[in-house]
Structure 1
Amino acid sequence: MSNNDPVRYRVTEAARLAGVSASTLRLWEQQGLLVPERTGTGQRQYSADDLVRLKKISWLRSERGLNAAAIRDALEQDEPSLETDAPFELGRRLRSLRHGLGRTLEQVGGDIGITASTLSSLERTSQGVSFKTLHDLAEYYGTTVSRLSGEVPETVPTLVKSGGWRTWPQTTPGVTVQLLAEGGRMMDCHRFVLAPGATSEGAYRHDGEEFMHVISGHLEVVLDADQFFDLGPGDSLYFESRRAHSWRNRHEGETILLWINTPPTF
């Protein structure tokens, strides 16, 4: 570790510094009061900011006698800036949905087939999962990727000028999604920019119908695991969204496409 690297504490060290037991820290994590980072092997790591939060949780519990839900409310009221930090809003929405169901990271991760550490990282950073996993999480919580990723502005513009598109949080490496239409419309209209090698990393399905039109590059789309479509510039594809579909950028450079879902079920 270099002198510029932030200090990280293991669970036993963090518990000692916070004046509680290691099992209490694990309980607080299950209750969603604090989600620490994890190493590649799954070991919890607590930052200096985490320790400040742990001490506040301990004080709220011991001195004010608050339960987990009341502690969460108190912490959120103390940190209003976090709620408007757009790049991390998706992760907080996912965490809030999980809390609403009373599920742990391990339970949700097990249900959709990812590790608890991967889900923990997504809830903290809004990054690090495949497009398929993001879709599976949205379906698990009874919502859509569009609702999780987008914010409806106070005034919805009729015209969106070229280059003025709002962009989803970049949850999946190499996949940039830009909004071509705002508000609660009957269609989700998106501009996808896919880096070389970008892929859905698996097939997914949902209600509705889809239209895609490739502007530049090359996109491979697979329907129902046995129908392959190689789309080049100017090519279009229309299909029912209930068909299992996966995709990847087969171009050495970026692939850019127009992608429309109707109704907005993605």
Structure 2
Amino acid sequence: MSDESEVRYKVAEAARLAGVSASTLRLWESQQLVVPVRSPSGHRQYLASDIARLRRIAWYRAERGLNPAAIREALLTEDEGDAATPAPGGETNTIGRKLRALRHARGLTLEQVAGDVGITASVLSTLERTSQGVSFAVLHAIAAFFDTTVSSLSGDDGLRDGSMVKSGEWRTWPQTTPGLTVQILAEGRNQMDCHRFVLAPGASSEGAYRHEGEEFIHVLSGRIEIILDGQEFHDLQPGDSLYFESRRHHAWTNRHDGETVLLWINTPPTF
């Protein structure tokens, strides 16, 4: 059974759970009080953490009579206060804790980081608290802002001894992006990031990203579309491979009606 934090609620369901109308949810989104994730087709989807936030917004509005600006400030104050409270899920919140620590070490607010990255403070707050709710492209942008890598945030701590990783014993990144599972195929601080990507139907990077280095992709099963620089399209199927420079903008989408499994290697480890 999936964890409740992984459930996605449609607008009507979220409105019912929060005790408000669907139009109110859209209004609150326009006021940047809450920002839902988007499905591959662009539909709004609310996480369990979003439902809790919606209920807090409704309470502040009804019981305290606060305007949107005051509600936003109250919510941000709550989020900052959560820093000393471990989030449920233990290791599943690793990325969020690391990002919060990096932000605090630089003395930055949620708004400052979110503004530079191009997201809202509420989205960044949700990521810090739950390690969920952003696209792969956004996660990469946040890692770059803090001069680190997605790999470092997700899986390079607690390295195991030895160069061999037996089949099925891969360590897995915390699942930050819906539909994406990343498994570590080579332990240690090496010159290559070696990963096994498992993409659910419709999973995508939801935008392009780039970094230094070179990349190699080999499709084990399924089908994936890789787009380079927004104009070069590659439809890869089982047995196909692609090699490209990482500094090129690249985006991807699972075009298979089932899972797509990839061998994905980056060198040097700038991913």
Under TM normalisation by the shorter chain, which class is it? 0.7 to 0.9
Of the three residues 234, 239, 242, the one matched with 1:234 is 239
Give 1:24 deviation, angstroms: 9.0
2:81 aligned residue? 33
* 2:159 and 2:188 in contact (8 A); partners too: no
1:152 aligned residue? 157
2:139 aligned residue? 134
Give 1:154 deviation, angstroms: 5.3
- Higher alpha-carbon deviation: 107-116 or 124-133: 107-116
* 2:163 and 2:188 in contact (8 A); partners too: no
Give 1:153 deviation, angstroms: 2.8
Give 1:155 deviation, angstroms: 3.6
In structure 2, distance between residues paired with 1:145 and 1:231: 24
Kindly report which structure 2 residues correspond to 1:180-199, keeping only aligned pairs within 5 A, or say none: 180-199=185-204
* 2:159 and 2:187 in contact (8 A); partners too: no
Kindly report which structure 2 residues correspond to 1:48-67, keeping only aligned pairs within 5 A, or say none: none
Helix, strand or coil at the partner of 1:246: strand
Percent identity of equivalent pairs = 60
* 2:87 and 2:130 in contact (8 A); partners too: no
In the alignment, is residue 174 of structure 1 matched against residue 179 of structure 2?
A: yes
Instruction: Give deviations 1:73-131, integer Å, cap 9, x for gaps.
Output: xx4xxx6x769921101101111111122222122112111111111111000011100
In structure 2, distance between residues paired with 1:250 and 1:93: 33
In the alignment, is residue 107 of structure 1 matched against residue 155 of structure 2?
A: no
In the alignment, is residue 224 of structure 1 matched against residue 229 of structure 2?
A: yes
**For structure 2, which runs of at least 5 residues remain unmatched after alignment?**
1-16, 19-50, 65-69
Helix, strand or coil at the partner of 2:81: coil
In structure 1, distance between residues paired with 2:92 and 2:73: 30
CA spacing shift, 1:195–1:154, aligned 2, 3 Å: closer
1:55 aligned residue? none
Kindly report which structure 2 residues correspond to 1:20-99, keeping only aligned pairs within 5 A, or say none: 28-29=77-78, 32-34=80-82, 75=84, 85-99=90-104
Helix, strand or coil at the partner of 1:108: helix
Helix, strand or coil at the partner of 1:135: helix
* 1:218 and 1:249 in contact (8 A); partners too: yes
* 2:87 and 2:129 in contact (8 A); partners too: no
Aligned length: 215
Matched to 1:192, the amino acid is F
- Higher alpha-carbon deviation: 100-109 or 119-128: 100-109
* 1:83 and 1:89 in contact (8 A); partners too: no
CA spacing shift, 1:224–1:12, aligned 2, 3 Å: closer
* 1:168 and 1:176 in contact (8 A); partners too: yes
In structure 2, distance between residues paired with 1:245 and 1:178: 20
CA spacing shift, 1:97–1:195, aligned 2, 3 Å: same
Normalising by the residue count of structure 2, what TM-score does the alignment of the two structures yield?
Answer: 0.71
* 1:135 and 1:144 in contact (8 A); partners too: yes
Instruction: Give deviations 1:227-262, integer Å, cap 9, x for gaps.
Output: 110000000000000000000000000000000000
**For structure 1, which runs of at least 5 residues remain unmatched after alignment?**
16-20, 36-74
Helix, strand or coil at the partner of 1:33: helix
Normalising by the residue count of structure 1, what TM-score does the alignment of the two structures yield?
Answer: 0.72
Give 1:181 deviation, angstroms: 0.7
Q: Radius of gyration: which is bigger? A: 1
* 2:210 and 2:247 in contact (8 A); partners too: yes
In structure 2, distance between residues paired with 1:204 and 1:159: 30
In structure 2, distance between residues paired with 1:257 and 1:6: 36
CA spacing shift, 1:168–1:228, aligned 2, 3 Å: same
Helix, strand or coil at the partner of 1:170: coil
In structure 1, distance between residues paired with 2:123 and 2:76: 19
